[in-house]
């Protein structure tokens, strides 16, 4: 039985089926690529498809998840534009210098458009933080600013829980930013997280970060 099927069976006895966001969150954390691909194939909305592609790519780096990306979404929501920015960011990370600059600018433009629509959208904050962590310093990378985004995300998710983002994922990213900053708080947070019953992806990230 796949994890997705188990989720759907459990939901059948306790209310409506889980949303695509909820399913993608759980499947991503448990590295269930096959089930995520089925979720992508059946995604009912553009936002759901972008979310599935954004979650699938880092799990096994298939370029097809980054194919045919639109340059912009003039009618897109903050979340859709943020997710598309994340996908362009993935493309920038694997491109030649010339294309990396072009794709990176496109991602930044999409993030700015998302920020203008909803500066507290959880995926905007997540993807902004990731971008700030992984960009070279010369291109605007800033681990301290990334930490600020993740801490803000923690507060936003506490106020309005998001089906697409696990609070534990937020804590893992906060730890990673602290670790990159060589902050004294990082080892204690890592130890507290490892003491919890973490999904496989989060545990692996803590034990062997990129």
Query: What per-residue confidence (pLDDT) applies to 10?
Result: 36
Structure pTM?
0.90
Does residue 4 belong to any structural domain of this protein? Answer: no
CA-CA distances (angstroms) from residue 144 to 46, 84, 151?
33, 24, 11
Chain mean pLDDT for the chain:
91
Q: How far apart are CA 135 and CA 127, in angstroms?
A: 12
Main-chain dihedrals φ then ψ at residue 30, nearest 5 degrees: -100, 10
Q: Is residue 2 included in any domain, yes or no?
A: no
Confidence class for position 14, pLDDT limits 50, 70, 90: very low
Summarised one tens digit per residue, pLDDT across range 34-55 is 999 999 999 999 999 999 999 9
Is the predicted pLDDT of residue 95 greater than 80, yes or no?
A: no
Please tell me the distance from the alpha carbon of residue 126 to that of residue 114, in angstroms, as a whole number: 12
User: What confidence tens digit (pLDDT) does each residue in 100-152 have?
Assistant: 889 999 999 999 999 999 999 999 999 999 999 998 888 888 999 999 999 99
How many CB atoms sit inside 10 A of residue 45's CB? Answer: 10
Is the residue at 8 inside a domain?
no
User: Distance between CA 11 and CA 22 in Å, rounded?
Assistant: 11
Per-residue confidence at 98, pLDDT binned at 50, 70, 90?
confident
Question: Measuring CA to CA, how many Å separate 86 from each of 16, 132, 210?
Answer: 30, 12, 17
**Quick one: pLDDT at residue 135?**
86
Q: How far apart are alpha carbons 87 and 41 in whole angstroms? A: 17
Tokens of 49: 């498809």
In a domain, 11, yes or no: no
- Has residue 9 been placed in a domain? no
Q: Which of 3-17, 41-55, 72-86, 156-170 has the lowest mean pLDDT?
A: 3-17
User: What residues make up the domain containing 88?
Assistant: 18-207
Res. 18 pLDDT band, cuts 50 70 90: low
Mean pLDDT over 58-80 rounds to 95
Interval 144-174: pLDDT, tens: 999 999 999 999 999 999 999 999 999 999 9
Whether the per-residue pLDDT at 13 is higher than 70: the answer is no
* 1 — pLDDT class (breaks 50, 70, 90): very low
Query: Which residue would you say has higher pLDDT here, 99 or 80?
Result: 80
* Total number of domains constituting the chain: 1
Has residue 33 been placed in a domain? yes
Does the residue 1 lie in any domain? no
Q: Do the domain assignments include residue 7? A: no
CATH number at residue 76: 1.25.40
């Amino acid at each position: 039985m796949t994890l997705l099927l188990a989720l759907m069976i459990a939901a059948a006895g306790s209310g409506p089926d889980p949303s695509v966001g909820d399913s993608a969150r759980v499947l991503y954390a448990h590295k269930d690529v096959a089930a995520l691909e089925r979720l992508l194939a059946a995604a009912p909305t553009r936002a759901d498809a972008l979310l599935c592609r954004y979650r699938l790519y880092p799990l096994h780096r298939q370029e097809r998840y980054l194919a045919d990306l639109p340059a912009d979404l003039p009618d897109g929501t903050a979340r859709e534009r943020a997710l598309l920015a994340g996908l362009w960011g993935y493309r920038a990370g694997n491109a030649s210098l010339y294309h990396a600059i072009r794709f990176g600018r496109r991602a930044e433009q999409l993030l700015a458009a998302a920020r203008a629509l909803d500066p507290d959208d959880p995926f905007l904050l997540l993807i902004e933080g990731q971008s700030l962590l992984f960009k070279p310093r010369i291109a605007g990378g800033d681990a301290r600013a990334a930490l600020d985004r993740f801490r803000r995300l923690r507060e936003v998710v506490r106020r309005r829980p998001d089906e697409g983002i696990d609070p534990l994922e937020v804590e893992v990213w906060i730890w990673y930013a602290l670790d990159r900053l060589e902050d004294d708080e990082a080892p204690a947070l890592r130890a507290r997280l490892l003491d919890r019953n973490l999904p496989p992806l989060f545990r692996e990230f803590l034990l062997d970060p990129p």
